[in-house]
Amino acid sequence: MAFQDEIKEVFGYFGQRGNALCYRYEAEWLVIEPWGRNSLRVRSTKQAEMPKEDWALLTPEEICTPEIETREDGGSITNGKIRAEINLIGKLTFFNEKGEVLLEEYLRNRKDMFGSTCSSLEVEAREFKPIIGGDYRLSMRFISAPKEKLYGMGQYQQPYLDVKGADLELAHRNSQASVPFVLSSLGYGFLWNNPAIGRVNFGKNITTWEAFSTKKLDYWITAGDTPAEIEEAYANATGKVPMMPDYAMGFWQCKLRYQTQEELLEVAREYKRRNLPISVIVVDFFHWPCQGEWKFDPVYWPDPDAMIAELKEMGIELMVSIWPTVDYRSENFREMKGKGLLIRVESGYPISMDFQGNTLHYDATNPEAREYVWQKAKQNYYDKGIRVFWLDEAEPEYTVYDFENYRYHLGPDVQVGNIYPVMYAKTFFDGMQKEGQENIINLLRCAWAGSQKYGALVWSGDIKSSFPSMKNQVAAGLNMGIAGIPWWTTDIGGFFGANVADPNFHELLVRWFEYGCFCPVMRLHGYRWPLQPQYGTTGGAACVSGAPNEVWSYTEEVYEILSSYLRLRENIRPYVAKQMQKAHEKGTPVMRPMFYDFPEDEICWETETQYMFGPDVLVKPVTDAGATKVCLYLPNGSTWRNAWTKEEYEGGRWLTIDAPLHQIPLFTRNGYELPVEG
C-alpha cells in the first residue's frame, strides 16, 4: 500500500495515519508524529514516497499515544508537554503544555487553499526548490524570538556560547563539527535530522535552516521544563555514550609524532620513573608504510607485540592513529577501488586529498568498506592487544572542500556528507563490539548527531596555539556537550604555532593544562617547534616530527605546575567516573554551561566563560595572557567554597579573585572538597 493510501482523510487536506497527523497540499506530504516522550518528529516531502532514512534518530523505546484532532480549517497533535497546530495554509506552530509558543513557522502566503487573500507577501515556510534533473534545495523558516538564547550546534571556531544571531555552515571541516541540535531558553530542543551540506542562520527576525540537496524535510522537536529534561530526551532519541573505560579518565600523552618504537617506549618509561600518572600514550600518524596500509612499518616499529606488552605491564594503553585515506601506491588501493570501497568524484581525476601522496578516502557509508577496513585494523592492531583507536581525518578532510564533487555509497556528499564521521566511528565500534569488547572509546576529529552511541570521543581539531584559540575551545566544548557529545577534549596547548622555548607559550600551556584537567578527557598533544631531525626517509618516516611535548620538556617551573595537575586529575578520577556514569545512563554533559544546573538563575544564561564540571565543581578557565585576577559568578541557591583558599560565599554574587599562574579558579558547591595542592 502506498504511503498516501494509508492516510485516512478526514477533511481533504488534514488526516490521520496511525499515530501521525498528516497534511497534504499539491505535491507536499507532511507527517507529524510522536517520537519519544514530549517529542514530535516532522517530515515532509514532494517525492512519490516518503524517504525511509531515520538518520540520527533511533526507534523510540516508548510508544506514545498522542491526542490528534482534525478539522476543516486545520489540525493538532499533542504528545505530553508538546502540541503542534497546523492551519489552512499549512503553517505549523509548536506550544508547550502552558500554551506558550515554542517555535512557529515563518510563512507569508497570498492566498489560502480556498482562494482567500492572506498576505501581499509570499514566502514559503517549507520551500522545496527543485534542482533541475535532481532533488530539492530545501529552506525551512521559523519566526525568531529576539530575546531567545540558543546553545549547541557542535563546535565552531568562535568564542560565542549563545549562537543566537550566528550564521553557521552545516558542514564538517578540520576543527569544525556540525552537530545540528540546538537547545532554546524558551524550553525546547530542536534537531535538524538531515545530513546534507547546508547552512543555518539564527537571525533576529527569521531562523532559516537550509539543505543544499535533499529529498525530504526531517526534524525532531521536544519540550521540557529544564535543560536537563530536554537533553535527556535528546539522548533517548539519538543514543547515549557507552560507559567510559576507567583508563580513559586519566592522562593521555601525545605529540606529533613519535618516530620509532624505542622513542615512544622511552617516554612511557620516563613517566614511570618520575612516578607521574599516565593512562594512554599515542602512536600518531605515518607509523605505517603507506596511507591505506593499516599496520606498523616494520623498519621503525620492529616489534609492536613487545611494545604493547611492555606498555600494558606499566598500566598504559596504546592508542594508534588511523587515517581513512588510501594512497594510489598502497597495497590495498587496487582492490578497494575495484570493489567500490572508495569515495568517487563527479568530475576530474579521482583524488580527494594530496597530503603526502595522492589519496582517496574509504567510503565509510558502505558496509562492505567498513568491514574491509576493520578487518585490516583487527589483523594488524586489535589482535595484538590494541583497544583504542585514533580515527583521524573524520570529517573527512579534503584538499579542496568541493562538497558537490564527491559521491558516497549512500549518495552525493552534498546530500549525505555529514553522516561520514558517524559511519567512521561505527566501523570500529561494530568491529570491536563483535569481538566482545565493552566500554568502547575511540578518538575522532569530528562528529554528527548520533556519533556518541558509537563511542566517539571528539577533539576540537588542529587549532592554533594562542589564548584566543583557547577561549574558542571553551565555547566549543560546552556547545558540543549540549549537542549530545559528552566525550570531548582538545589538544592541550593547541596544535599549531608554538615553540617549546617561548616563555609566552609556557604561560599558555600552563593555563591550557589547568583547563584540560577539567575536561572530560585530559590529553596533551601538539605540533611543536623546532622540528626534529628525521630518523628515516622511507615509508611513513618521510613525515616530519615536532619537538618534544612531554610535561618535563619545558622549564622546571612549568614542570612543577603540570605535574601537580596530573596528580589532581588522578585524585578526582572517582568524581569523573560518577559523571561518566550519568553521561552513559542519561546523556548528561560532563562539562556544561552554568544554566544547565541553575536554570532558574537568569544570570547563568548570560554567563559564557565559566562552566560546571559535574554538579559540584565550578571552573573558570584563564583565557587571557598575563591575567592574574578573574571575575566570576557564583549561582544563587548554593554555598560556594574557593578550592584554593577555602573561603566560603553564599551564591547570587559576582566575585573578583586572584588567579596566579599555578591556580585555575575553582569553586566547589555545598561542601564538596577538591584535593588540590596549595
How far is residue 156's CA from residue 178's CA, in Å, rounded to a whole number?
8
Element (H, E) at 153: strand 150-155
Give the single-character DSSP code of 127: E
Cell numbers that stand for 391 in this block: 580515527
Q: How far is CA 366 from the centre of its chain?
A: 22
Residue matched to cell numbers 552525493: 412
Q: Which residues, in sequence order, are bridge partners of residue 608? A: none
- For residues 42 and 218, the answer to whether their CB atoms sit within 8 Å is yes
CA dist 425 and 364 (Å) reads 9
Non-local CB neighbours of 413 within 8 Å, separated by 6+ positions: 197, 343, 403, 404, 405, 406, 407
Residue 22 near residue 16, CB atoms below 8 Å: yes
What SS3 state is found at 412? strand
SS3 call for 13: coil
Helix (H, G, I), strand (E, B) or coil at 590: coil
* Residue entry with cell 565509510: 364
Give residue 151's identity as a one-letter amino acid code. Y
Query: H or E segment at 516?
Result: helix 503-516
Contact criterion met (CB below 8 Å) for 53 and 79: no
Active site residue 462: yes
Buried b (16+ CB within 10 A) or exposed e, 322-349: bbbbbbbebebbeebeeeebbbbeeeee
Distance separating alpha carbons of residues 448 and 180, to the nearest angstrom: 8
State the CB neighbour count (10 A cutoff) for residue 379. Answer: 12
- Spatial neighbors of 454 by CB under 8 A, at least 6 apart, are 422, 425, 426, 429, 440
Percent of residues in the chain assigned helix, strand, coil, to nearest 5: 25, 30, 45
DSSP secondary structure letters along 602-638 = GGGGT--S-EEETTTEEE----STT--EEEEEE-TTS
How far is residue 481's CA from residue 13's CA, in Å, rounded to a whole number? 41
Q: What is the dihedral of CA 38, 221, 102, 147, to 10 degrees?
A: 130
In sign, the C-alpha dihedral spanning 475, 402, 414, 431 is negative
672 with 617: CB under 8 angstroms? yes
Out of 392, 413, 514, 597, the active site residue is 392
Say if residue 199 is exposed, middle or buried (CB neighbours under 10 Å; 0-12, 13-18, 19+).
middle
Three cell numbers at 509?
600551556
Q: How far is CA 421 from the centre of its chain?
A: 10
Find the catalytic residue in 210, 395, 550, 616.
395
CA pair distance 263, 269, nearest whole angstrom: 10
The single residue of 135, 162, 462, 514 carrying the catalytic annotation is 462
Q: Strand 611-613 relative to strand 617-619: parallel, antiparallel, unpaired?
A: antiparallel
Q: Which residues contact 503 (CB under 8 A, 6 or more apart)?
A: none
Which active-site residues does the annotation give? 392, 395, 462
